[in-house]
Structure 1
Amino acid sequence: MMVSTKGRYALRVMIDLAEHQTDGYIPLKEIASRQNISEKYLESIIKSLVKSNMLVGLRGKGGGYRLTREPDQYTIGEVLRLTEGSLAPVACLEANAESCPRMFDCRTISLWRGLDEVVNEYLDGITVADLIAPYQSGDNYVI
């Protein structure tokens, strides 16, 4: 499984908004600047996050984007499945995949199912809040 730039940037947007959730609506320009990502590229990513109700947008002065839920209510798996479409390691395990004629004789299907289960359980066990927690504590200091 290779996570695309879109998936990685979507996670960065979600983390950025989670870290600034007390600031209200955050303009796209600010997110793009902090994350060093093109505004144009972020527009398409934010559009899909809004369409899936992960974010809400407000137009006009004082507008921008914010999370619709608390950061601990978003799993990394949820965000990546939205942007990547599927996390399945092989095509035959993707949702709505055509039935493979070799499925019942396939010697590797249990391997792929196991990998798919491990990947999804792992990514669904981590939230956006988990990714920002180490950076929000006051314990990060250098002597």
Structure 2
Amino acid sequence: MKISTKGRYGLTIMIELARKFGDGPTSLKSIAKDNDLSEHYLEQLAAPLRNAGLIKSIRGAYGGYILAKEPKNITAGDIIRVLEGPITPVEGIENEEPAKQALWMRIREAVKDVLDTTTLNDLKHYDDAEPQEAYMFYI
């Protein structure tokens, strides 16, 4: 499974809103500027996030976006599913032999577990955490 810019930038929006949770609305313009991203593209991503009930838009001169729920109640999986669709490492596994099906299912479950147990609250504090040892896995 490859996460596209939709998922990556959508996570960026949501993490920034989580960092400013309780401080009032945040404009996509400021998020785009702070992260060197296209404001127009972020606007396209905000619509499905709003339709899914993850963010709310506030109109007016001091408007912008806020999280619809507390950061601890929104997972990375919620965001990725809205923007990328179902979490599936391989399409059409029903046609694979049982050994491969089992492998693909284990990979899917591992990815789902990470996404569904990682909240925006975890991600907004990531910069505050001690550096973690980096691992690279080859499959």
Shorter-normalised TM range? 0.7 to 0.9
Structure 2's unaligned 5+ residue stretches are 131-139
TM-score by length of 1: 0.82
- 1:69 Cα offset (Å): 0.6
Inter-partner Cα distance in structure 1 for 2:128 and 2:103: 39
**Does the alignment pair 1:128 with 2:116?**
no
In the other structure, the counterpart of 2:38 is 38
Structure 1's unaligned 5+ residue stretches are 94-99
Moved more, 18-27 or 2-11: 18-27
| SS across alignment from 2:44 | helix
**Does the alignment pair 1:119 with 2:111?**
yes
In the other structure, the counterpart of 2:135 is none
In the other structure, the counterpart of 2:50 is 50
Inter-partner Cα distance in structure 2 for 1:133 and 1:19: 8
Inter-partner Cα distance in structure 2 for 1:70 and 1:4: 25
In the other structure, the counterpart of 1:76 is 76
Inter-partner Cα distance in structure 2 for 1:110 and 1:22: 44
- 1:28 Cα offset (Å): 1.8
TM-score by length of 2: 0.85
State the percentage of identical aligned residues.
37
Give 4+ residue runs of structure 1 displaced > 3 Å after superposition.
134-137
| Structure 1 vs Structure 2 CA RMSD | 2.1
- 1:73 Cα offset (Å): 0.6
**Does the alignment pair 1:62 with 2:54?**
no
- 1:23 Cα offset (Å): 2.1
Distance change in 2, residues 1:71/1:61 (3 Å) = same
| SS across alignment from 2:22 | helix
Task: Say how many residue pairs are matched.
Answer: 131
| SS across alignment from 2:65 | strand
Moved more, 5-14 or 26-35: 26-35
| SS across alignment from 1:66 | strand
Q: Deviations over 1:62-98 (max 9, x none)?
A: 21100011111111111111111122111136xxxxx
Larger Rg: 1
In the other structure, the counterpart of 1:88 is 88
Letter in 1 for 2:48: S
